[in-house]
């Protein structure tokens, strides 16, 4: 059993223990059991901290929200109205919140097919994607298929609704720009590479999911999204919009290869090591946002 599963299990056991202390007990009994709760509560806090400190399976939630908020700001008002209607049809109220849905449902039986669609593996010795770009049940194929479904074309590969395909497309395009989602199977996209970051344990993948984005987005991703979107130049938009998902995956893969060349031999990293990735992380998030904006414009039309 993995460490994350162990912590989740203990976390659930503690919650159930507290529940049993108070459920269906008379008032005096509840008072007596309050002492046990006071003992259990710090332990619960400890395991909650461990649980929520674990690396996620993709950009953590706020980077995905930031990407989608910037993409939303890139749209014209009529396009935003169309998108809002589609988001509402999917059961969500805001587009940026809907962009984390694809991660939340990965363990739901109906959506378990989507697990491998968040990444792709490339042979360790490859200098480029090569034949890996033609992978089945990977992020590249999923983007192509979800794009079709989102415009109403049935897919023989994936059984999902048109509204859900839009949410999946928005999320996976973000994942494509987390470089370790275009990585190597033998270390699970960096999940099996353990590092010590200022004395705290992290996986390489977890750093790119959580710690590195937080360093550049700050605490308020909404404020950051508005500021970053206002700073995007027309030249950047034109440059970043060129190509397609295969070219963008190639960019991520080249960044992945560079990341591996900079890994410290002793596995210990500090702020100076982290700082070298501030600009690349910001650029990956912005590229994802601009490209998602282009995808949405094509999908929604030009607001006429």
Percent of the chain residues past pLDDT 70, beyond the cut: 80
Residues 223 and 172 placed together within one structural domain of the fold: yes
Question: Which tops the pLDDT comparison, 80 or 12?
Answer: 80
The parent domain of residue 168 ranges over 61-300
- Model pLDDT for residues 245-261, shown as the tens digit of each residue: 999 999 999 999 999 99
Both 229 and 273 in one domain: the answer is: yes
State pLDDT tens for residues 144-161.
Answer: 999 999 999 988 889 899
The residue among 18, 34, 52 that closes a domain is 52
Q: Are 66 and 221 in contact (CB under 8 A)?
A: yes
Looking at the fold, whether 219 and 283 belong to one and the same domain comes out as yes
Kindly state the average pLDDT of the residues 115-138: 96
Residue 121 three-state SS = strand
User: How far is Cα 248 from Cα 256, in angstroms, rounded to an integer?
Assistant: 12
Are the C-beta atoms of residues 48 and 41 closer than 8 Å to each other? Answer: no
Crossing angle of the two packed helices 162-176 and 77-89, in degrees rounded to 10? 110
Q: DSSP labels for 182-211?
A: EE-GGGTTTTT-EEEETTEEEEHHHIIIII
Does 77 share its domain with 42?
no
Residue 272: count of CB within 10 angstroms of its CB: 7
Based on the fold, state whether residues 66 and 46 are members of the same structural domain: no
Neighbours of 222 (CB within 10 A): 13
Per-residue pLDDT, 58: 59
Tens digits of residue pLDDT in 4-62:
444 444 444 444 444 444 344 444 444 444 444 334 333 433 343 333 333 334 568 99
pTM of the model: 0.81
* Last residue within a domain, chosen from 52, 73, 91: 52
Q: Which residues contact 253 (CB under 8 A, 6 or more apart)?
A: 122, 126, 128, 129, 179, 182, 183
Residue 3 predicted with pLDDT over 50: no
- Residue 245 CA, chain-centre distance (Å), reads 17
Whether 32 and 84 share a structural domain: no
Query: Is the domain of 100 the same as that of 17?
Result: no
Whether residues 37 and 94 fall in one domain: no
Q: Are residues 266 and 236 in the same domain?
A: yes
Q: How many CB atoms lie within 10 A of CB 159?
A: 11
CA angle (122 as vertex; 116, 128 as ends), nearest 5: 140
Lowest mean pLDDT, pick from 30-34, 95-99, 213-217: 30-34
Radius of gyration of the chain (CA): 21
Strand pairing partners for 269? 197
55 and 203 Cβ atoms separated by less than 8 Å: yes
Assess whether pLDDT exceeds 60 at residue 212: yes
Quick one: 156 and 285 in the same domain?
yes
Chosen domain end from 26, 52, 78: 52
Are 224 and 192 within one domain? Answer: yes
Quote the mean pLDDT of the chain: 85
Co-location of 212 and 234 in the same domain:
yes
Q: What share of the chain in percent tops pLDDT 90? A: 77
Selection from 276, 273, 278, 282 nearest residue 196 by Cα: 273
pLDDT of residue 217: 96
Q: How many structural domains does the chain have? A: 2
């Amino acid at each position: 059993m993995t460490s994350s599963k162990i912590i989740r299990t203990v976390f659930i056991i503690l919650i159930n223990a507290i529940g049993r202390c108070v459920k269906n007990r008379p008032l005096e009994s509840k008072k007596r059991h309050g002492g046990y709760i006071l003992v259990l509560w710090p332990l619960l806090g400890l395991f909650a901290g461990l649980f929520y400190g674990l690396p996620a399976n993709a950009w953590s939630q706020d980077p995905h929200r930031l990407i989608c908020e910037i993409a939303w700001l890139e749209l014209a008002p009529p396009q935003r109205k169309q998108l809002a209607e589609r988001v509402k049809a999917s059961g969500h109220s805001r587009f940026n919140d809907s962009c984390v849905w694809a991660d939340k449902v990965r363990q739901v039986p109906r959506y378990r097919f989507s697990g491998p669609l968040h990444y792709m593996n490339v042979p360790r010795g490859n200098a480029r994607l090569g034949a890996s770009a033609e992978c089945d049940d990977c992020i590249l194929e999923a983007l192509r298929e979800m794009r079709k479904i989102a415009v109403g074309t049935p897919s023989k590969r994936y059984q999902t609704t048109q509204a859900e395909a839009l949410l999946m497309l928005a999320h996976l395009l973000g994942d494509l720009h987390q470089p370790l989602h275009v990585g190597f199977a033998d270390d699970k996209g960096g999940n099996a590479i353990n590092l010590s970051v200022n004395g705290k344990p992290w996986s390489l993948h977890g750093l790119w999911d959580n710690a590195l984005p937080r360093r550049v987005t700050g605490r308020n991703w909404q404020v950051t999204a508005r500021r970053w979107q206002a700073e995007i130049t027309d030249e950047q938009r034109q440059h970043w919009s060129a190509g397609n998902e295969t070219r963008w995956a190639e960019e991520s893969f080249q960044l992945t290869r560079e990341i591996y060349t900079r890994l410290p031999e002793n596995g210990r990293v500090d702020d100076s090591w982290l700082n070298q990735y501030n600009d690349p992380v910001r650029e990956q998030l912005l590229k994802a946002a601009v490209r998602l904006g282009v995808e949405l414009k094509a999908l929604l039309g030009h607001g006429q």
